[in-house]
Amino acid sequence: MQILLRLAMKKILIVGQNSYIGCSFKKFIEYSAASEYVVTAISVRNDKWRSFNFGKFDVILHTAAIVHTTKKQKDSSIYENVNHILSVELAKKAKDSGVRQFIFLSTMGVYGNDNKVIDIETKENPKTLYAQSKLDAEIDINKLAGETFVVSIIRIPIVYGKGCKGNYNRLSKFAKMVPVFPNTNNKRSMIYIENLSSFLKLIIDNPQQGIFFPQNSEYVNTFFLVKAIRSSMKMKTWELKGFNNLIYFLTKQFGCFAKVFGSFYYNDSLEFINKKTYNVVDFKKSIDMTEIK
């Protein structure tokens, strides 16, 4: 009976055993639904994956990527080789091995980093080598899709959670030092790591071909994000008033201001999957869980 039960379990291979999203998803599944899935993780830092048997898995979740590199930004080869070429090779091996679904984690950055709302009419316009390499991989992996090979592209916004590196951490450190902050009423798409893991489980349970845009139930306003971070540390925040016009001007002129005070979010028209079905943690609690030691 136990052998039959194990055969019925969905088998998932995570490519990127040390990636934050991959590790978090594995823990999420093992905690919430261990009896329904077998989850394995491998690294692609060497060529051992080429001889690894993909054929015993139902789903490949590809989370490995180069986001930042110490090499000069002019050298695009590392992004091209890892994020694009390697990803396509993995997808081809998955298809040839009879894997039913390939999930590729892409980025909201394929739309650029301008102050904008993204809807169904918005064209891709990557501004970084990282985003360009992800978009190139999307295009080539999608060519492999068919009736027996489902390709699910996930264009994720900023991900945050305990232990996550990146833009959120920089803002968090800044927020804890600044008790006064302006409210520009901007909107940002973000997603808490448990909500993302819940979304990925949903995509695996209901395999769908296409591009998906997961995000928290609520858009994030930078002022309220700073306030929530400081509140989790029992620190008060005061709203700085009277500078909105200046900040708006600076946001239009300088990219660093746009990243903090600009709007960059997915319109609800892109909500092919209801956010309520995978948002398991609300915004306030997600910040508390991220910040509290």
In a domain, 227, yes or no: no
SS3 144: coil
CA distance 184 to 221: 8
Burial track 97-106 (b if 16+ CB lie within 10 A, e otherwise): eebebbbbbb
The whole-number pLDDT of residue 69 equals 58
In a domain, 90, yes or no: yes
Look at the chain and report how many structural domains it folds into.
1
- Long-range contacts, stretch 1-7, CB < 8 angstroms, 24+ apart: 6/38
Residues of the chain with pLDDT under 70: 1-8, 68-75, 242-250, 252-258
In a domain, 129, yes or no: yes
Q: How crowded is residue 254: how many other Cβ atoms within 10 Å of its Cβ?
A: 11
CA distance 270 to 121: 10
Pairing between β-strand 59-62 and β-strand 10-15 as defined by DSSP bridges:
parallel
Contact assessment for residue 95 and residue 149, using Cβ atoms and an 8 Å cutoff: yes
In a domain, 181, yes or no: no
End-to-end CA distance of the chain: 43
The most distant pair of C-alpha atoms in the chain lies apart, rounded to whole Å, by: 69
In a domain, 230, yes or no: no
CA distance 17 to 206: 24
Residues in the chain: 293
In a domain, 46, yes or no: yes
Residue type, 292: I
In a domain, 70, yes or no: yes
Contact assessment for residue 175 and residue 229, using Cβ atoms and an 8 Å cutoff: yes
The whole-number pLDDT of residue 292 equals 83
The whole-number pLDDT of residue 222 equals 92
CA distance 238 to 247: 17
CATH of the domain at 160: 3.40.50.720
The whole-number pLDDT of residue 252 equals 66
Quote the domain boundaries for residue 77.
Answer: 2-165+189-217+268-281
CA distance 96 to 90: 10
The whole-number pLDDT of residue 170 equals 86
Helices and strands of the chain, counted as H and E runs: 11, 12
pLDDT in tens, 185-217: 889 999 999 999 999 999 999 999 999 999 999
Token digits of residue 137: 């991989």
CA distance 74 to 129: 9
The alpha carbons of the chain give a radius of gyration, in whole angstroms, of 20
In a domain, 174, yes or no: no
